[in-house]
Amino acid sequence: MDKLKVGILGLGRGLTHLRNFVRLDNVEVVAAADRVQKWRDRAREAVGDHPVRFVNEFEELLDMGLDAVVLASNGREQAAHAVQALAAGCHVLSEVPGAYTQDEIHRIVLAVERYGKQYMLAENSCYLDFLRYWRKWLTENRFGPVAFAEGEYLHYLPNSMILPDRTKITPKQAREQDLPDVLPSWRADQPPIQYLTHDLGPLLNVLDDTVVSVTCRSGPYWCPEAPLRTDGQIALFQTAKGSLIKIMVTLNTRRPGAHNYRLFGIEGSAEWYSHEGFCRLFWGDRKEGQGWQRMDIGTAGRDTDKTAGHGGTDIAMARSFVNAILADRPVPIDIFRMSDFTLPGILANRSAEQGGQTIAVPDLRRAPFRGTNFWHHVGLPEDEPEVRDYRSEMGLTY
């Protein structure tokens, strides 16, 4: 097989996937499906002369003899769509969260095993370039054992109501305009901690680890624009290797959106905040009073088109999926790794509902976890970017 025949379901978020897949030389994008005419029209304009068919229904897509399907559908429907695509003989690249319940994850596992096709979670944050360096430095023992890690997903999302044409508005706008056909979006009542894969997944890949238990607490319901979900949740995860990972997700607090990551090793530490776009380091013979060092590594590698969605991570993810399928290799984030990233958030919310009770997180594999194959696909860098003094770069005198 020289080219992978691909179809795209959903042309909201899926528009980025469509643009990226038509740019890949080893892909033929056969068709894309969406029930909303304006999204199909927008996508048709975006692909220009590429001979992509646009249809209304998923079933039409599956009847076209595709090799693979990219799922960018409603988060509550992704698991059902994945099973349907696998049953139709298609490999699957599914947007996050991938599943909404533990039972849905089990169903995808069984479908992968029954139909012999591959499933990959489209967790683009795993392709952030600085994570490659963190993994490299961890394998070189520069951090020493990593005792703690932290991740944060901060994203103010008040537009929790949706119109028939999929325009999103706030509950206040719906009330003021007295709109009769408005419905809550799938994220309107989603527990925030269940949208943690962008933060937990990358950290688990860097640590090459899995979660074994979780305790979680919910914040208040104070935001009037999203009354169906808590303003945020904080979870503490114990890993199989003994590290603790803290994840905070808030969708209701007004602030610039951000992903933030921190590693705490006994010999050194690292931090990356998306609003800064560079890495902070502290290790080796550096003394406490000297403060952080700065290293300019960010979202994507220097040879990656950073306009191709989320700083270039989207097209890097698409390329690795396609290359794995064409080479008949296991994909970088398979169904079991998807469970490692997603199930802890589902069970974290259950813990919060039980007042913070500790809940065990099962491994759904048939055999014990032997390590991720993600880095075999992505590779670790050979270069060592320049390190500069953080305080002087920022003009700080203290």
CA angle 8, 126, 186 (to 5 degrees): 50
Phi, psi angles (nearest 5°) of residue 138: -65, -45
Q: Could you give the domains of the chain? A: 4-117 (3.40.50.720), 129-303+335-393 (3.30.360.10)
For residue 190, the tally of other CB atoms under 10 A from its CB is 23
> Running DSSP on this structure, what letter comes out for residue 143?
S
Both structure tokens of 57: 């229904």
Q: What residues contact residue 151 under an 8 Å CB cut-off, 6+ apart?
A: 196, 198, 199, 200, 202, 203, 245, 246, 247, 248, 259, 260, 261, 262
Q: What is the pLDDT along the chain (398 residues), one digit of tens a residue?
A: 789 999 999 999 999 999 999 999 999 999 999 999 999 999 999 999 999 999 999 999 999 999 999 999 999 999 999 999 999 999 999 999 999 999 999 999 999 999 999 999 999 999 999 999 999 999 999 999 999 999 999 999 999 999 988 889 998 898 899 988 899 999 999 999 999 999 999 999 999 999 999 999 999 999 998 989 999 999 999 999 999 999 999 999 999 999 999 999 999 999 999 999 999 999 888 888 889 999 999 886 555 565 667 888 999 999 999 999 999 999 999 999 999 999 999 999 999 999 999 999 999 999 999 999 999 999 999 999 999 988 877 776 65
The interaxial angle of helices 335-353 and 197-207, nearest 10 deg, is 120
Helix (H, G, I), strand (E, B) or coil at 389: strand
What is d(CA 378, CA 124) in angstroms, rounded to the nearest whole number? 12
Residue carrying structure tokens 């897949």 = 21
Beta-bridged to residue 258, according to DSSP, are 154
What is d(CA 202, CA 193) in angstroms, rounded to the nearest whole number? 15
| pTM for this model (two decimals) | 0.96
What is d(CA 209, CA 188) in angstroms, rounded to the nearest whole number? 31
Which pLDDT belongs to residue 298? 80
Which pLDDT belongs to residue 83? 98
**Order of all β-strands in the sheet with 119-121:** 53-55, 27-33, 4-9, 68-71, 91-94, 119-121
Taking alpha carbons only, the member of 21, 143, 126 closest to residue 375 is 126
Q: What residues contact residue 241 under an 8 Å CB cut-off, 6+ apart?
A: 207, 209
User: Which string of DSSP letters, residue by residue, matches 45-85?
Assistant: HHHTTS--EEES-HHHHHTT--SEEEE-S-TTTHHHHHHHH
Taking alpha carbons only, the member of 74, 77, 75, 88 closest to residue 7 is 88
Both structure tokens of 309: 């969605």
Both structure tokens of 179: 């709109």
What is d(CA 188, CA 371) in angstroms, rounded to the nearest whole number? 35
Phi, psi angles (nearest 5°) of residue 376: -70, -30
Q: Is 287 exposed, middle or buried (0-12, 13-18, 19+ CB in 10 A)?
A: exposed
Both structure tokens of 49: 């002369």
Which pLDDT belongs to residue 398? 57
